[in-house]
Amino acid sequence: MSAAPVSKGSAMLLAASALKNYAVEAQDGTMGTVKDLLFDDRTWQIRWLVIDTGGWLSERKVLVHPSTIGPIDYGRRTVQVALTKLRVQDSPSLSTDLPVSRQHEADLYSHYDWSPVWGGALYGPEIAGASFGPPRFFGNKELYDDLGLGNHGDSGDPHLRSIAEIDGYHVHATDGDIGHVDNLMIDDGNWGIRYLVLNTSNWWAGKQVLMSPYAVTDISWSQEKVYLDVTRARVQSSPTWDPAAIVSEIYEKRLHSHYGWSGYGW
C-alpha cells in the first residue's frame, strides 16, 4: 500500500511501515534511524520508537518516547525529536531488542521524566478480550501499575509488541479467514494505532480493508493469528476503501457506523 501520510486536520494517519529507516534528528544533529515501533497490545498505543544509532553509539539501540516527537518531514524522511544527543547517550542502554524489561522502561521514564500514561487510551474496556485482560479504566496511577512499571522487575513486558511482529498475521472473522495484517495506520497526533490494514486477496480478490482495534477480540502471538468479532459478510458490505485516496472523517464515520464502533472524539 502507499506509504504516503493521510491528512486528518492537524494530525496525520500514516502507515507504520513507512517510518522504518526514517532519519531521527535530535536538537544537535542526526542520532540514527527508526528501526521499529513498540505498541501495547491492550491499549493499541505506541509506547516506544526503537532507534538504531549506528556508528554514533557503536551500533547501540535506544528507545524514544512518542511525547518527544516533533515535526515529521515525509519528503525528506526525517523525524525530529526534542532531545539532545548527549541526553540520549547518557540514557539507560538497551541490551537486547525484545522483550524489553519493565526495569529498563522504568529507568527510561525516570531518566527523561517521561509519563507512562502519555497519550491516554484510545479504546478503553471495549477491546478487552482474552489476550488483553479484564476491562481497564485508565487513571494515571492505575495505568502505571497496570503496565508493571511500579514493579521494577527484570522480566519482559508480554504486552509490549513490535509492529514488525504482527505484520503478516492471519486474520479470522467469526465465520472464517479473511486475510492477513498488511500494515497499521497510526495517528501521529496521539501515536495511537487507528486501524489495522487487512489484505484480503486470498479471499476477496484485490481488496484491502481497514479494521479498527475495536473489532479485535484476541491475538494469538504464538500462532500468529488475529481474531475479530465481525463476519465475512459484514466485511464485504463495509464502505469501500481505496488505499490511494484520502481517509476523510466522512469515510471514517461511515465505517464506524457500519460496524457499530465508537468514534474518535467526533
Q: Are 222 and 205 in contact (CB under 8 A)?
A: no
pLDDT score of 147 more than 60: no
Under CATH, what is the fold of the domain 164-259?
Photosynthetic Reaction Center; Chain H, domain 2 (3.90.50)
Phi, psi at 56, each rounded to 5°: -60, -40
pLDDT reported for residue 115:
75
Distance (Å, whole) CA 183 – CA 15: 6
pLDDT score of 131 more than 90: no
Q: Are 105 and 94 in contact (CB under 8 A)?
A: no
Distance (Å, whole) CA 110 – CA 74: 31
Half-sphere exposure of 32 (CA within 13 A, CB side): 25
pLDDT in tens, 168-191: 999 999 999 999 999 999 988 889
Distance (Å, whole) CA 188 – CA 97: 23
pLDDT reported for residue 266:
64
pLDDT reported for residue 244:
83
Cell 518516547 locates to: 65
pLDDT reported for residue 255:
96
